[in-house]
Structure 1
Amino acid sequence: MTKQSRLIRAAKAVFAPMMGGLTLYITWTFLALHINNPVLMPSPNIVLSALVDILADDLILDIAASLKHLGLGMGIGVFLGLGLAFLATSFEPAGLLIDPAVELLRPISGIAWIPLAIMMFGVGETVPIFLIAYVSIFPIYVNTVTGIKGVDARLINAAHVLGARPGLIRRSVILPAALPMILTGFRLSLGVAWMTLIGAELIGGSSGLGWRAFWYEQFFAMNKNLAVILVVGVLGFTFDALIRIAQFRLMRWSPSAAQEAGQ
């Protein structure tokens, strides 16, 4: 990558979020002026002021709780998704059993399982962790299977000719070739995990950003409620940006992955 392209890339990384934030601020301000009800639709300045107030209160603890739920749930989901994907692609009978089960469960929203999760675990942090793990499995599984099945057969045949063992082929040929799709699956899993996190904490959790947003809603404190929602958006954007950077760092050799990471 040339120096000029690096500068262009850095400029895009800085100015694109700034322009997006400015557009959101202007649209939000006009909407608040149009509704003309600061209780129902507070302006961005009111929400930012409320954000400063709740940061000095318990918001940091709620952020920590949500990140804990997200980390544990994502860790379990990604581990299971990768394990099932490698099993399904390495052992054909297993794939014949796993694929239909995944396709049956994949369209069912994690939110639909909240009543059952509450019955099994009660209201608490186990509910969001369970639901995040559930929704995280499918994107990583589907993308990993697609990536592995899409590996060029000539690469595998060449490794066989050179006398590589199956385990070495999986580690040194199949896994690197499938890595762009695996990382994309991880990014998609993170997106659905964030959406599920807030809903699960709102209904079945006892701490976290979703629970805190619901708490403020009960007192009709929409300025603080929207401040929590704003924090969720900023955190989601930040984590997605970190994953894109990781994609670019890990996949420098892949033009398609580097291009996707730079979007």
Structure 2
Amino acid sequence: MRISLLAPVHTSLYARMLAWRLGRADGIELTDVLLRAPFQLDRLRDELRLTTPGRVLAKVTGKVLVGSLSSPRAGERSVRDIAAAEGLPGSSLKDVCAAIGARFHVVQNHNDDRSLAALRAAAPDLIVFAGGGLLRAPLLAIPRIGVLNTHNGVLPRYRGMDVALWPLLDGGAPELGVSVHLIDAGVDTGPLLLVERFSLEPGDDHPAVMRRIERVGLDLMCRAVLGLRDGTLTPAPQAAEAGRQHFVMHPAIAAIAARRLRSLAG
């Protein structure tokens, strides 16, 4: 199975680990990795439309400069620990591509003409999306199977943004987890492959939950790609009425959800 990978920043541990694992997997040929160029005005505008300036700054600090989410607690297994254990080479996505023999491209936008031309030339069966902005219909139409994405919540119930926080305001035990789905024209409405739920652990806060989502998402995405390779997974359509779209939380509401999280986690 031929695959291409789309990535948001060259330091992203999530994207680097996906490329490292998939690039060495039997029966998979990771031919091309496309990195969306950072620090663009249009990208900043996209981010600010979706969230607040403070959260954009935190994202740049964590994902772009550090390569992952906030620092793990003592005894917590993070994606950084996994990368060290699996021998992730170098310090950038370009280094990983050199190690696995994949072509590396830097594009202004994953939807631009240069990106589309590279993807059409690669002729992937599947595109793995590790982040980097919204994807348009011409790109989604390129791969034979589709474009695979991890979502930071339980689908179909929790579509959209801040779906690791909204469940905390619904009462009862929060439904937290990660989903892998194919991207369609809707917001997290594409056919579903895998969902993995998890419970809060003692001492959890919002950063700890997001780090767990990153770790679970890495494993779940790899399982989904291998399942498609082997024919053991079949994407299942989501029922439109089974969930609703959630939007970015106002900071005051997010603070309430974060306090409830800490209360539930003891």
Tell me the TM-score range normalised by the shorter chain: under 0.3
Structure 1 or 2: more strand by fraction: 2
Structure 1 or 2: more helix by fraction: 1
Report the TM-score, using the length of structure 1 for normalisation.
0.28
Report the TM-score, using the length of structure 2 for normalisation.
0.28
